Amino acid sequence: MALLKLVAPVKDYLWGGDRLVKEFGKKAIGAVTAESWELSCFPGSESIIENGEYSGKKITDYISDKGNMVLGTNCQKFEDFPVLIKLIDAKKDLSIQVHPSDDYARIHENQYGKTEMWYIIDAEEDAFLYYGFKRDVTKEEFARRIEDETLTEVLNAYPVKKGDIIFIESGTLHAIGAGILLAEIQQNSNVTYRVYDYGRRDKDGNLRELHVDKALDVTDLSAVKKVSRPEPHIGECKYFTVDKVNLTGNITDTIKGTVGEESFLHILILEGQGTIKNDGEEMTYSKGDSFFLPSGSGDYSLSGSLEALLTYEK
């Protein structure tokens, strides 16, 4: 069996909403649902396989049993599984934060750093996010503005709409704003250095931890330079490549491809419904579904109507 349907673990962070449950069919674990981890080998938050002989087991169990070559030859350069894919529903503003590089994270956190990209699925009118600084700042000014809570005055406020793509390299200060629903493709890491959180308290009444000293170590203090889109892909770096595909809704329309020995393929359905076929298997899909095709699984097709993100390693 090559075609694996995944069930995503979800997170009930305080800034989340309910769209992942109501629109994408995710199972709530609390009053809010902030994130669903659609492809995850992160310890304690692994995706679960829904079908076949590994039904109910973690995707890491499947990889361990079958061997790392199910990830493809292009993944062998990585010490750990390289990518983590999420859906994120920001009903409220997320904290202003930064992620470290691999070198820094390996020393201080025993994890990868985090470079990531966002695909905006939907955004309320006037929604925006913070993306780097609008001008160069010094380390002293950065520290002072964190202390006196004026940091947003020097951040680049970036309006967004459905279909926008934002690529965030490690070291770039950023925050998702309220009213934004997005897909995030990132390195397989959960390292975040929070520098400002609007004075919010968690469900136990405690202020959330800040990580100012480490953020001062890793943040790029120069004015942000937008990374150009790497045509024909919507996202590409040494950690992942992402394509977006669409079908119009005419059932005769079909997308075909081949999963070779070079890489696995992950398919995340953002809209639509139809049928996916691979290796003699056929399954239906709908909005919010997530599929993992191991390397070497051969020809596949998607028929129906859809908007989907395809992630793989080059």
What is the average per-residue pLDDT within 255-263?
96
Please say whether the structural domain 240-312 has been given the CATH code 3.30.2320.80. Answer: no
More confident residue, 248 or 28: 28
**Amino acid letter at 3?**
L
Among 194, 201, 208, 229, the one annotated catalytic: 194
Q: pLDDT tens digits, residue range 109-149? A: 999 999 999 999 999 999 999 999 999 999 999 999 999 99
Q: What is the 3-state secondary structure (H, E, C) of 115-145?
A: CEEEEEEEECCCCEEEEEECCCCCHHHHHHH
The continuous run of DSSP H or E covering 2 comes out as none
Summarize pLDDT for 51-64 with one digit per residue, the tens. 999 999 999 999 99
Q: At residue 69, what is the residue type?
A: M
Active-site annotation holds for 208: no
Mean pLDDT of 26-41: 96
At 208, the pLDDT band (50, 70, 90 cuts) reads confident
pLDDT at residue 251 in the model:
61
Per-residue pLDDT at 250 exceeds 70 = no
The pLDDT confidence band at residue 227, using thresholds 50, 70 and 90, is: low
- Band (252; pLDDT cuts 50, 70, 90): low
Q: Which helix (H) or strand (E) holds 180?
A: strand 180-187
The answer on pLDDT for 230 being more than 80 is no
Mean pLDDT of all residues belonging to the chain: 94
Q: Is the predicted pLDDT of residue 232 greater than 90, yes or no? A: no
Structure tokens at 229: 């889109």
Query: How far is residue 167's CA from residue 239's CA, in Å, rounded to a whole number?
Result: 12
For 93-115, the pLDDT digits (tens) are 999 999 999 999 999 999 999 99
Beta bridge partners of 6: 49
Query: Distances in Å between the alpha carbon of 131 and those of 35, 89, 127, 269?
Result: 20, 18, 13, 26
CATH 3.40.50.10800 describes domain 4-218 = no
Q: Where in the chain is the domain with CATH 2.60.120.10?
A: 4-218, 240-312
- pLDDT band for position 7 (50/70/90)? very high
